[in-house]
């Protein structure tokens, strides 16, 4: 359904060019849940924003292609993109407090996307909710609020965002995203601002949406645990590049890239008490002025001279498992 080829997004800054998204190739099948995992500043969110062409100034998509149902999004006119955003591809952002507008009622905000995309004028919509646009909109909004699990919707419809808890705000955002039945849902750290028990609620809601509507989901998260439990495939990102892509069991169970291995070793395991955690040496690099070669090389345990000089290609090591590392044999993609 979604195929990203060699996507690059760069930010010119005073300190040098930041390659926030560097030659990223990824695909998502219909109804699939893909986890995009990495640490802060590795370019996960920028990858999502690049798909929707919402890169903030001074960033720019400098190359690549993003095919959504066969057509290249990067070649579309701005008006075509506007029609697509929220309708076919919807996004859920990380911080619900700052995403909702504090001065509008939650119900109105959920209905906004329906109004913008003229949903109420559509034949199928009219047959279901009637001809009166106002009533139809409210009907649909109440239905959405119920679907995402907001209790006492009749009162909640008229409340403002500050009257909602964090988890409820996130549900409202998901309701906005779902309003036009998108085929693709981009979720940028949707549970990071939430407590564990609320996180479990939101994740199971997303799972249910995926199951019932067949919505494809790209879930950006820094939490490998969330990705492992929730996604069918995982893509690991480091300093703007994808370093490993594969089915969840493979990436978590038999990781091949030294960064993925290091990341997994640095998380305490619960089933085996006192298996010593091993941190990755050093810090996440500054993306400005990153030299060529493998960006992970300075922190890598199995680094070779060639790692610093060559650009490392993504290699196919089995049918559905790709790794970008000179130490892992495989044929180039």
Partner 1 sequence: MTAAEPLVKTKGLTKYFTSRRSLVAKLVARQKDHLIKAVDDVNLDIYPGETLGLVGESGCGKTTLGRTLIKLYEPTSGEIFYRNQLVHELKGRELIAFRKEAQIIFQNPYASLNPRKTVRDIISVPLRTRGLREPRIIEEEILNLLQRVGLSPRHIDNYPHQFSGGQRQRIGVARALALQPNFIVADEPVSALDVSVQAQIINLLEELQEEFQLTYLFITHDLSVVHYISDRIAVMYLGHIVETAPTITLFERPLHPYTQALLSAIPSVDKGFRRKRIILEGTVPTPLDPPPGCRFHTRCFAKLGDVCTRVTPSLVEVEDNHFVACHHFK
Applying CB under 8 A, which residues contact partner 1?
39-40, 165-168, 195-201, 203-204, 222-226, 228-230, 252-253, 262-274, 277-280, 283-284, 299
Q: What angle, 0 to 180 degrees and rounded to 10, lies between the N-to-C axes of helices 106-116 and 166-178?
A: 20
Q: How far is the CB of 168 from partner 1 (least distance, A)?
A: 7
Output 11 or 230, the one with its CB closest to partner 1.
230
Output 64 or 255, the one with its CB closest to partner 1.
255
Distance CA 43, CA 9 (A): 9
Output 86 or 295, the one with its CB closest to partner 1.
295
Distance CA 142, CA 323 (A): 46
Distance CA 96, CA 193 (A): 8
User: H or E segment at 270?
Assistant: none
Centroid of chain to Cα 193 = 15
Q: How far is the CB of 52 from partner 1 (least distance, A)?
A: 26
Output 72 or 266, the one with its CB closest to partner 1.
266
Distance CA 308, CA 329 (A): 18
CB 307 within 8 Å of CB 297? yes
Dmax of the chain from CA atoms? 70
Output 87 or 248, the one with its CB closest to partner 1.
248
Q: Give 74's contacts (C-beta < 8 A, 6+ positions apart).
A: 53, 61, 64, 65, 66
CB 11 within 8 Å of CB 58? yes
Q: How far is the CB of 187 from partner 1 (least distance, A)?
A: 14
Nearest 5°: the CA angle 198, 238, 318 is 95
Distance CA 164, CA 232 (A): 32
CB 114 within 8 Å of CB 164? no
| DSSP-assigned states of every residue in 82-112 | HHHBTTTEEEE-S-HHHHS-TTS-HHHHHHH
Q: How far is the CB of 297 from partner 1 (least distance, A)?
A: 15
Q: How far is the CB of 324 from partner 1 (least distance, A)?
A: 18
Matching residue, tokens 């995309």: 117
Give first-to-last CA distance, the chain, whole Å.
20
Output 151 or 313, the one with its CB closest to partner 1.
151
Output 64 or 246, the one with its CB closest to partner 1.
246
Q: How far is the CB of 7 from partner 1 (least distance, A)?
A: 24
Q: How far is the CB of 286 from partner 1 (least distance, A)?
A: 9
Q: How far is the CB of 83 from partner 1 (least distance, A)?
A: 36
Output 71 or 266, the one with its CB closest to partner 1.
266
Pairing relation of β-strands 216-221 and 33-37?
Answer: parallel
Q: How far is the CB of 164 from partner 1 (least distance, A)?
A: 10
Q: Taking the CA of residue 66 as centre, how many other CA atoms within 13 Å lie in the half-sphere pointing to its CB?
A: 21
Output 91 or 231, the one with its CB closest to partner 1.
231
């Amino acid at each position: 359904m979604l195929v990203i080829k060699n996507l690059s997004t760069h930010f010119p800054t005073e300190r040098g060019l930041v390659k926030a998204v560097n030659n990223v190739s990824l695909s998502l099948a219909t109804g699939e849940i893909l986890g995009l995992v990495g640490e802060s500043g590795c370019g996960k969110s920028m990858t999502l924003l690049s798909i929707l062409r919402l890169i903030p100034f001074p960033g720019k998509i400098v190359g690549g292609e993003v095919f959504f149902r066969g057509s290249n999004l990067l070649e579309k006119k701005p008006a075509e993109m506007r029609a697509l955003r929220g309708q076919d591809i919807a996004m859920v952002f990380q911080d619900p407090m700052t995403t909702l507008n504090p001065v509008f009622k939650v119900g109105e905000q959920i209905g906004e996307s329906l109004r913008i995309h003229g949903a109420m004028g559509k034949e199928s919509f009219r047959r279901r909710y009637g001809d009166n646009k106002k009533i139809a909109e409210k009907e649909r909004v109440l239905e959405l609020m119920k679907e995402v699990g907001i209790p006492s919707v009749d009162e909640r419809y008229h409340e403002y965002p500050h009257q909602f808890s964090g988890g409820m705000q996130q549900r409202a955002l998901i309701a906005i995203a779902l309003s036009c039945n998108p085929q693709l849902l981009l979720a940028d750290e949707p549970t990071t601002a939430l407590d564990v028990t609320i996180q479990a609620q939101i994740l199971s809601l997303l799972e249910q949406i995926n199951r019932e509507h067949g919505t494809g989901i790209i879930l950006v998260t820094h939490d490998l645990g969330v990705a492992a439990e929730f996604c069918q495939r995982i893509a690991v990102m480091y300093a703007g590049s994808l370093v490993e892509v594969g089915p969840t069991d493979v990436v978590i169970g038999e990781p091949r890239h030294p960064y993925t291995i290091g990341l997994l070793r640095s998380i305490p395991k619960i089933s085996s008490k006192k298996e010593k955690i091993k941190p990755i040496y050093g810090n996440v690099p500054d993306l400005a002025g990153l030299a060529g070669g493998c960006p992970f090389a300075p922190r890598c345990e199995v680094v070779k001279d060639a790692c610093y000089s060559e650009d490392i290609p993504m290699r196919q090591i089995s049918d559905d498992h790709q790794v970008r590392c000179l130490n892992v044999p495989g044929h180039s993609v």
